[in-house]
Amino acid sequence: MGHGRRGLSWEIVQEHYKNPLVLREIARFSRGRWIAVHCEARDHLGRPLLIRYRRFRRGDSRKPLAIREPGDVLAILSELEDLRPRTFYASSAIFKRLEDVGDVAGPENAMAFTPTWDIDNEFVAWRATLDVAKAILDFLDEQGISKSAFVKWSGRGAHVHLHHGAFSPELLAKQGPLNVAYAVVEYVRLKLGPTITDISAKHGAWALKVENKIDPQRVFTCPLSLHRELDVVAVCIAPDELEDFTPEWAEPGRFKHWEGWNRFGPGEADELAIRALELVGGYPKLHRRRKRKTKRVEDMIMRFLR
């Protein structure tokens, strides 16, 4: 299997996105999130184009890209065909509405964020990446979080996602969804600092790092999207299968993917969040929250989770 630079033909990329499972999983992860699409076409500086809004809208208003069902993925692929779309991303934030640019301008319109540990590494040290992912899962399990976390192989590294449903609506409403997600990611990252250093040294994985990239507009690769550069599919891995994973699971056309990534234990991460907020504090750049004139956030979150 080639894990170097992109080698897939455009025809194979198109074939990948005709797979009903691929379309279904991208749509399932994307619901309520702001979408971004990396294209093979490049701008005047030679950078791959990243599209985050619908194209050719009249007037000054721009509509954020959104996906609610598999057909929306096909529609975006068709609309951007001349730019050769390749990689789908979805925001950490889950928004109440995604109709105009103001809806994604800040965190006020978000009703939840998905805490995500971004494990960045070189492909050759992929076993170190898995060891760090397992260390994060083990730590979460020690904190009573056994049903809400999963690993997504991202190509050169991995993401550990914690389902937003692991936090109670009451906690999110009181503390703010962005504060909760940021604090939890940072707290675990700091707690595991020595462990991560030991794993890096053991494998000689000197490029390995775990980052907290939670912010109001951050996006992460969608499950079963292709990587933007590598010939790799972003597959989800069940926690109890992590030690069995090999990079062959991520090969286009014959990938192995865990569809149970969306399960969660309601409220099981509340205690960790409270501890993290006490130690770390909330998101450092958060503006003062405006008073809401919409429905109570608890009600909206419960309706979304149902």
Q: Give the tens place of pLDDT for each residue, 13-55.
A: 889 999 999 999 999 999 999 999 999 999 888 888 999 998 6
Q: In terms of Cα–Cα distance, which of 108, 195, 120, 112 is closest to 160?
A: 120
- Residue 123 sits at φ, ψ, to 5 deg, of -60, -40
Residue 128 in any domain: the answer is yes
Residue 2 in any domain: the answer is no
- Residue 119 sits at φ, ψ, to 5 deg, of -95, 110
The tokens for 80 are 């951007």
Q: State the residue range of the domain holding 33.
A: 10-305
Residue 210 φ/ψ region, left for φ over 0, alpha for ψ in the -120 to 50 degree band, beta for the rest: beta
DSSP E strands: which ranges in the chain? 35-42, 48-51, 85-91, 93-95, 110-113, 116-120, 149-153, 158-162, 209-211, 219-221, 236-237
pLDDT digits (tens, 9 = 90+) for 121-162: 999 999 999 999 999 999 999 999 999 999 999 988 999 999
Which DSSP state fits 49?
E
Length of the chain, in residues: 306
Question: 230: pLDDT confidence band, cut at 50, 70 and 90?
Answer: confident
pLDDT digits (tens, 9 = 90+) for 187-202: 999 999 999 999 999 9
306 pLDDT more than 80: no
Q: In terms of Cα–Cα distance, which of 202, 260, 272, 243 is closest to 28?
A: 260
Residue 5 in any domain: the answer is no
- Predicted TM-score of the model (pTM): 0.89
Contact predicate 90/33, CB 8 Å: yes
Q: How many separate domains does the chain show?
A: 1
Q: In terms of Cα–Cα distance, which of 31, 37, 22 is closest to 69?
A: 31
pLDDT at 61: 64
Q: In terms of Cα–Cα distance, which of 120, 89, 122, 70 is closest to 227?
A: 89
Residue 133 φ/ψ region, left for φ over 0, alpha for ψ in the -120 to 50 degree band, beta for the rest: alpha
- Type of residue numbered 129: T
Question: Please, what is the end-to-end C-alpha distance for the chain in angstroms?
Answer: 41
Q: What is the CATH number of the domain that holds 187?
A: 3.30.70.3300
Q: What is the mean pLDDT of the chain?
A: 90
Residue 3 in any domain: the answer is no
pLDDT digits (tens, 9 = 90+) for 250-302: 999 999 999 999 999 999 999 999 999 999 999 997 644 444 444 555 555 55
Question: 2: pLDDT confidence band, cut at 50, 70 and 90?
Answer: very low
